[in-house]
Amino acid sequence: MRPRIESIAARLLAATGTEVERREDQTGVRLIVALPEELDEPHRAFLLAALADADDYGHDHAGDGTQQAWALITGGTQ
């Protein structure tokens, strides 16, 4: 499971250029990344490919007005 988490996190970082926040709980690991205001098509495709490898994913607006993408990897975090 850890290699999958690390792979998705690395690709989220590469796609956005922003630090990936990691939150773990009994459900699994949620990776959260702030989205830049502009994202060209190659980086957008790379971001979507990384998200597609997660068990669930989504998009939120943070309290400070920034947009975030998140990826959830469920199951054991071992």
Tens-digit pLDDT profile for residues 12-58: 999 999 999 999 988 899 999 999 989 999 999 999 999 999 999 99
Tens-digit pLDDT profile for residues 53-78: 999 999 999 888 889 999 999 975 44
- Rounded percentage of the chain residues whose pLDDT exceeds 90: 79
Sequence-distant (≥ 6) Cβ neighbours of residue 33 within 8 angstroms? 12, 13, 15, 16, 18, 19, 20, 21, 68, 69, 70
Residue 50 token pair: 């990384």
What's residue 78's pLDDT? Answer: 43
- Domain layout of the chain by residue ranges: 2-74
